[in-house]
Chains A and B, each alone.
Chain A
Amino acid sequence: MTAIYILWLRQLKRYVRSRSRIVASLGQPLLFLVALGFGFGPIFQRAGQGNYIQFLAPGVIGMTVLFTSVFSGVELIWDRQFGFLKETLVAPVPRILIMIGRTLGGATVAIIQGFIVLAICMAAGFRPSAIGGLPAAIGFMALIAILFTALGTAVASALDDFQGFQLVMNFLVMPIFFLSGALFPLMGLPKALSIVASIDPLSYGVDGLRAALIGLSHFGSAVDLAVLAVLSAILLAIGGYMFARIQL
């Protein structure tokens, strides 16, 4: 447990001390909020769907958590080649514990980022329907964060090349985000798109966030929770297995 705690703490310290990284990571969510939120707002309203900022905010928060989580895998590749990872891999600690510590650390950072973006959304006019939904929102952020940090770790464990990782992530992360219902409602979609959205894990994360923050859900919160919990467990197991097999 000490190993998990110390590695979790390390991730947090690194995040808190990297102010430029914190600021830079807010650029994309801000852009989506401003460009899409205010840009498409009138169209969304005219289509009878209500306030687009209200609809979009949970999607932007989900996006923030997704990207922060997955790109924690980039850190693993960097560490793997000539950084701190060697130090942890020769330590007398089961590798699964190292992976869990790193994953929890990456997930915590992603949740913090999610909260910062929630604050930005509220500054842009977003209002949660009830403050009592915040704990559930935190829970869904945590599940999204753990799931996708574990995914990033699993992918990064199999690659030793930074560019390879970027390629995989761009062919995986961007489709996951754009097809998740973060930007558009999942109701009334063409069948093919509806099927793809239903197998996209982030769809359930964004849906859960929307349910918690504005009381709007497509799949139902219980389904969202079950899917995310099961997938998180599976990806943690896969990520742990891949991480344990790393050779330098």
Chain B
Amino acid sequence: MIRAQNLTKVFGELKAVNDVSFTVPQGEIFAFLGPNGAGKTTTIKMLTTLLRPTSGKVEIDGIDPTVHQNEARQRFGIVFQDPSLDGELTAWENMDLHGALYKVPRHIRHERSETLLKLFELWERRNDPVKQFSGGMKRRLEIARGLLHTPKIIFLDEPTLGLDPQTRNQLWTHVKALNQTEGVTVFLTTHYMEEADRVAQRIAIIDHGRIVAQGTPQQLKQQTETETLEEAFLKLTGSTIRDEDASAADRMRNMARLWQGRR
């Protein structure tokens, strides 16, 4: 369903993703783990047509997204690390807009919007502007929106970042249910090792742009002779804290926090 072959992305002198290869079969929950700056988000962006690879091949459901972009985009939904909702619009309007962009017929997208908003416990707030939502509610709405066009694949880029344990638990319960009942392939990144251990069927660990290990959580623990996935992760990537320069995106996020305040 998802295939990356010798995928590389170079920014100037920096090789953000270096010769990465993996395959995710249909119906699998696949986790992509790595420290800050390892190349996780860059990899997702190449898979989802937001970045052009420097070299290598990508396939989404048999389609090359670098050549047939719109066809590939129809196949997946994505929940970004940073919110991508329009805060001035209501939950319902965000859903409706997404459905229109994905060419879901009006009566079908209204039916599905209602079903998904009820599933993610947002139906009562459907007519409220999203800027009034908590972080957890926004995440739930993003996932609901990402599923509106019934994609075969869903990309989740750090979907539980900043959420409380109850909301995180609820999110993963929904995601696992979707995987089991509808066979949706899930590609996720997360910093929370216990989540990856609980949810993912296979894991790839990336560091400095390269995949350092791949396998089931159990295989990774056996390979590193550790008890927990976190220990395996630290053994494979080291325990040095990674410093990163603030990107333009980070600077603008900080500006947004000053102007808008946290919700």
Residues of chain A touching chain B, judged by Cβ–Cβ distance below 8 Å, are: 2-3, 6, 10, 13-14, 17-18, 77-78, 81-94, 160-162, 247-248
Interface-side segment among B14-22, B73-81, B111-119, B231-239: B73-81
Residue of B nearest to A2 (CB): B100
B227 is an interface residue with CB less than 8 A from chain A: no
Q: Is the CB–CB distance between A3 and B100 below 8 Å?
A: yes
Set A82, A93, A160: member contacting B101, Cβ < 8 A = A93
B178 at interface, CB cutoff 8 A: no
Q: In chain B, residues 231-263, which have Cβ atoms closer than 8 Å to a Cβ of chain A?
A: 248-249, 251-253, 255-256
**Once the chains bind, are A84 and B85 in contact (CB under 8 Å)?**
yes
With beta carbons under 8 angstroms apart, the residue of B80, B86, B248, B252 that contacts A10 is B86
- Please name the residue on chain A nearest to B71 by beta carbon: A92
Chain B, Cβ-Cβ closest to A98: B101
Q: Is the CB of B70 within 8 A of A93?
A: yes
Residues of A within 8 A of B86 (CB): 10, 14, 83-84
User: CB distance A162 to B88 under 8 Å?
Assistant: no
Query: How long is the Cα–Cα vector from A194 to B114 in the complex, in angstroms?
Result: 61
Knowing A13-B89, A14-B88, A160-B248, say if A90 contacts B48 (CB, 8 Å).
yes
B residues near A, CB below 8 A?
A: 45, 48-52, 69-71, 73-74, 76, 78, 80, 82-86, 88-89, 93, 96-98, 100-103, 129, 248-249, 251-253, 255-256
Please, could you name 27 A-B residue pairs with CB atoms under 8 Å apart, sorted by A?
A2-B100, A6-B96, A10-B86, A14-B86, A14-B89, A17-B88, A18-B88, A81-B82, A81-B252, A83-B84, A83-B86, A84-B84, A84-B85, A86-B80, A87-B85, A87-B98, A89-B50, A90-B50, A91-B102, A92-B69, A92-B71, A92-B103, A93-B70, A94-B70, A162-B255, A247-B52, A248-B45
Given A10-B89, A10-B97, A248-B45, are A87 and B248 neighbors across the interface (CB < 8 Å)?
A: no
CA A22 to CA B242, docked complex, whole Å: 45
Closest A residue to B129 by CB, please name it. Answer: A17
Q: Look across to chain B and name the residue whose beta carbon is closest to the beta carbon of A6.
A: B100
Q: Is the CB of B252 within 8 A of A92?
A: no
A158 to chain B, nearest CB (A): 13
Please name the residue on chain A nearest to B83 by beta carbon.
A82
Q: Contacts A13-B89, A81-B248 given; indicate if A248 touches B73 (C-beta within 8 A).
A: no
Q: Which residue of B85, B93, B255 contacts A13 across the interface (Cβ within 8 Å)?
A: B93
> Which residue on B lies nearest to A88, using beta carbons?
B101
Q: Is the CB of B88 within 8 A of A3?
A: no
Q: Say whether B102 contacts A92, CB under 8 Å.
A: yes
Known contacts A86-B84, A162-B252: A6-B101 contact under CB 8 Å = yes
Q: A89 — nearest CB in chain B belongs to which residue?
A: B50
Assembled-state Cα–Cα distance A14/B256 (Å): 18
**A162 to B: closest C-beta gap in Å:** 6
Chain B nearest CB, measured from A109 CB (Å): 13
A248, B247: Cα distance in complex, Å: 12
